[in-house]
Amino acid sequence: MIKANNPNLKSWVSVPVNSDFTIQNLPFGVFSVLTDSPRVGIAIGEKILDLKNLFELGYLNDTPFALEDFDYNFLNKMMQHGKMAVRQLRNRISDLLDETNQELQQNTEELNQILFNQSDAKMYLPVNIRDYTDFYSSEQHAYNVGCLFRDPNNALLPNWKHIPVGYHGRSSSIIVSETPIHRPKGQKKPPTAEVPVFGNSNLLDFELETAFITFDANPLGDSISTEEADDYIFGMALFNDWSARDIQGWEYVPLGPFLGKNFASSLSPWIVTLDALEPFRTAGPIQDPKVFPYLEYEGNKHIDINLEVLIQPEGGEEVSVGKSNYKYMYWNMNQQLAHHTVNGCDINNGDCYGSGTISGPKEGMYGSMLEISWKGTKPFPMPDGSERKFINDNDTVIMRGYSEKDGIRVGFGEVSTKVLPAK
C-alpha cells in the first residue's frame, strides 16, 4: 500500500466531515493569495499548503525537488521528476500533516507562512496543456446518442467496441473552473431548413467528464502498454467538455468535432493523483467482442468515482440534473493511453485526455442535456417553474465528484462555469 493512502491517518489540520480534501487525498494545484505570484499548493481540508514556502523552510530537503519546481505557475516543472518522485513528495507531505508528527504543527510562526485559507486564494489552470485528446468511451452515452441520431438497432457504430474512439481537440481553450464562457456562434442547419444559417448556438450543452494528465512518457515511435500506462498518469480532474450540438451536428461529417467543441472546456483546479485513487479501483465491464492483445489488461483498472452535475440559474438554487459514476466507462485510461500510442504517437508532460461523456445505465444518470432532455423532447423541470432542454444564458453548470470507501473520502472539489450571452 502507498504510505500516504493509509486509511488510519488523521491530520492535525482540521478537515470537515465530508470534505473532499482529506489527508488520504492531498491533490496538487496552483494558487495565489493577495498579490503573491502563483505557486504550487496542496489542498487539505479548507486550507492550502504552500509547497514553495514549505521548501524554503527546509521541510522538503530529502525530496528530489528544487525551489523552482514549486515557485511556478503550473505543475509541469514538478511533474518533470516523474511518478516516483511525486509519490515520495506526497508521502512526505502526509508525514508532515499527520496528527502524530510534531515537526511542523507546533511552529505557529511557520504555519502562518505555509497554510492559507482556500476561500482567500485564487486558483489557476493547474497544468500547461500543450496537447488535448477527447475520447468517447461510455457505452451508455454512445448508445443514447446512437438512438437519438440513428436507431436503437444500430446505435453503436461498427468500430466502437474495437477501439477507444477519440479525437484531438483544442488545448488553448481549456479553462480553469470559475472562468465564464460566452455562448458560441456558428453555422447550423435547422431540421426544416434547406440551407444552413449563421447565429448563436441554441443547443448549448455540457458533457460530464473526467480528465487525466500525463507525465513525460514515450518518445516518438514507441508505444505504451496497458501495463505501463499507470506509470505515466499523474492524476485526474473533473472536466466539462462543452458542446454546441447544433453547430456540431452540421459540421461533424466527415472530420468530426470542430467549432462545436473548441470554444471551451472547463477543468477543475485540483489534480487528484492516480496514487490517491488506487484504493477505489474496481472491475470494469466484460468487453465483448474480445479486444486486440494491445488493449488487454490485468487487474482492476476502472475507478469508482461518484459524479454529479447541477444547474444554477442566475440568482437561483443549484438543481441536480444527473448523477453518474466513472466506473461505468467501457474503456479505461490504460486502454485509452495504449491505443493513443500504439501507432508511435508520443506523450508529453501535461498532456490532457478527456474521458468522454460519462453516462450511467438509467435515466437520472446521464451526462449531457442531449440525453437528459432526450434531444429536447423531455424538458427538465426546474423548481422556479422554468425548464431546460439545453443550457440557458446566465446558467452556471457545476460538476462535483468523489470516491469513498470504508469511511475514507477522496474528492475533486468542483468545476463551475457560468454561461454569458454571445458576444
**Catalytic (active-site) positions:** 141
Secondary structure (3-state) at 361: coil
Angstrom CA distances, 201 to 188, 246, 287, 377, 392, stand at 8, 6, 37, 18, 10
Strands 181-182, 204-205: pairing is unpaired
Contacts of 130 (CB under 8 A, 6+ apart): 171, 348, 350, 351
Question: Whole-angstrom Cα distance, residue 175 to residue 177?
Answer: 7
User: Which residue do the cell numbers 488535448 mark?
Assistant: 132
Cα separation of 310 and 175, whole Å? 19
* Rounded-to-integer distance, Cα 129 and Cα 174, Å: 8
Termini Cα distance of the chain: 52
116 vs 49: CA distance, rounded Å? 7
3-state secondary structure of 261: coil
Residue type at position 265: S
> For residue 55, what are the CA distances in angstroms to 46, 59, 64, 346?
21, 6, 11, 33
Three-state DSSP state, 292: coil
- Assigned C-alpha cell, 105: 504543527
Measured distance CA(217)–CA(222) in Å, rounded? 9
A 10 A CB-CB count for 68 gives 11
Chain center to CA of 71: 24
- Nearest C-alpha neighbor of 403 from the set 275, 292, 310, 227: 275
Over its C-alpha atoms, the chain yields an Rg (Å, rounded) of 22
- β-partners of residue 320 are 310
Q: Which of 131, 166, 142 is nearest to 349 (CA)?
A: 131
For Cα atoms 402, 299, 132, give the angle at the middle one, nearest 5 degrees. Answer: 55
**Phi and psi at residue 102, to the nearest 5°:** -90, -5
Cα(71)–Cα(56) distance, integer angstroms: 10
